[in-house]
Amino acid sequence: MSDETLSKDPSGSQPTEESLLDVEDPLLQPRRLSLGWRVFVAASVCLAAGAGGAIGAAVPKIGCEECGMPATVIGAVLGAVFAGIGMAIMAVLIARSFEEWRRHH
């Protein structure tokens, strides 16, 4: 495809590549979360990590009586890390979607 076919549209109904590149979409601009949302994200990550750690520590205690303390610690750490990471992803996605919704309404 040549440059002339991209820049000129004979019907005028389709946007050209240059016109699409010139438009600045406010949704694509990087924005920081407000303080309230950052506190929400931090609190939800801490809460989820605590719950994940408790569940991760309980699983080896229930499932393996001879495993002892190392398995409990490993389970607690892995549970806390995975729950914290999962909640961090979800909380940021929720906060960004609420901020985007607020900008449109």
pLDDT of the residue at 28? 62
Average pLDDT, the chain: 82
DSSP conformation class of 55: H
Confidence of residue 11 (pLDDT cuts 50, 70, 90): low
pLDDT of the residue at 10? 57
Q: The tokens of 85 are what?
A: 């990471």
Who wins on pLDDT, 87 or 100?
A: 87
pLDDT digits (tens, 9 = 90+) for 25-66: 665 666 778 888 889 999 999 999 999 999 999 999 898 888
Q: What's the half-sphere exposure (Cβ side, CA atoms, 13 Å) at 81?
A: 6
Q: What residue ranges do the domains of the chain occupy?
A: 38-105
pLDDT of the residue at 9? 52
